[in-house]
């Protein structure tokens, strides 16, 4: 029998739409992924399919129809977990175009700013990234970088992120990486970022039930050993809830 967490988790990074990039291959697999996430304590999840290349607006429309179907399937299964749609956006010229056209799949809100989940390559940070962050901040957009702990440059020198964080970049670390499930280099980087106070949220970044399962609690426990129980819950429940309240109004009342 599962031991439910003290507070329901709010997962801001989950790949559960079927047949989309490297998420579940079928509707049944998508439902089972959500069932396992709920079993592991997730009450609300923002789904984050990849956005790479042009036609952000068209992709949002297509994925919204899949979201509606998934919600129906979860209801039929009797699952209470709520899901919403955002995206994990590649940092490239197409993201710049989507910002200008207003066609972004928002992750949520951070105070008065809109939050967009972005990803870099797994090797190095992009050139001229600080001016790009400042450009977004001037437009009331707060970028949140997904899984910085797996970027090799960050693994070698975590402090390379210092000017980006100072410019307003938020960091989303994979909970399983902090717990050691993504290898020692990713875990070391995740711990270093948390020790520096730079991690905004922990999320599952789950894609399946085996390789990248929807686990958050092991990462929260690992975080508690570094920053204490209270802050560990901020990372997985309270802070993600404030961000995701844009999608789930009930969270604003919690």
> Which one, of 183, 178, 168, 230, lies nearest residue 203 by Cα?
178
Domains of the chain: 9-252 (3.20.20.140)
> Which one, of 88, 76, 122, 69, lies nearest residue 11 by Cα?
88
Q: Would you state the pLDDT for residue 1?
A: 37
Low-confidence residues in the chain, pLDDT < 50 = 1-4
Per-residue exposure over 83-101, b if at least 16 CB sit within 10 Å of its own CB, e if not: bbbbbbbbbeebbeebbee
Per-residue exposure over 134-157, b if at least 16 CB sit within 10 Å of its own CB, e if not: eebeeeebbbbbbbbbbbebbbee
Q: Would you state the pLDDT for residue 3?
A: 46
* Contact predicate 56/105, CB 8 Å: yes
**Predicted structure pTM score:** 0.94
């Amino acid at each position: 029998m599962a031991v439910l967490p003290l507070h329901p988790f709010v997962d801001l990074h989950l790949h559960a739409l079927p047949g989309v990039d490297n998420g579940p291959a079928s509707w049944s697999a998508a439902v089972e992924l959500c069932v396992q996430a709920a079993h592991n304590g997730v009450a609300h999840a923002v789904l984050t399919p990849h956005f790479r290349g042009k036609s952000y607006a068209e992709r949002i429309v297509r994925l919204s129809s899949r979201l509606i179907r998934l919600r129906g399937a979860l209801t039929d299964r009797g699952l209470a977990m709520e899901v919403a749609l955002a995206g994990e956006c590649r940092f490239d010229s197409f993201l710049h175009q989507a910002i200008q056209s207003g066609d972004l799949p928002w992750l949520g809100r951070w105070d008065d700013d809109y939050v967009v989940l972005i990803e870099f390559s797994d090797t190095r940070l992009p050139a001229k990234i600080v001016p790009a962050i400042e450009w977004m901040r001037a437009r009331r957009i707060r970028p949140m970088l997904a899984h910085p702990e797996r970027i090799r440059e960050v693994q070698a020198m975590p402090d390379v992120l210092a000017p980006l964080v100072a410019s307003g970049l938020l960091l989303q670390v994979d909970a399983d990486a902090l717990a050691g499930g993504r290898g020692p280099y990713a875990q070391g980087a995740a711990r270093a970022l948390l020790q520096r106070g730079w991690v905004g949220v922990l999320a599952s970044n789950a894609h399946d039930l085996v390789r990248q399962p929807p686990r958050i609690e092991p990462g929260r426990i690992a975080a508690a050993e570094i920053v204490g129980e209270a802050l560990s819950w901020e990372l997985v429940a309270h802070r993600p809830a404030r961000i995701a309240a844009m999608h789930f109004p009930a969270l604003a009342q919690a």
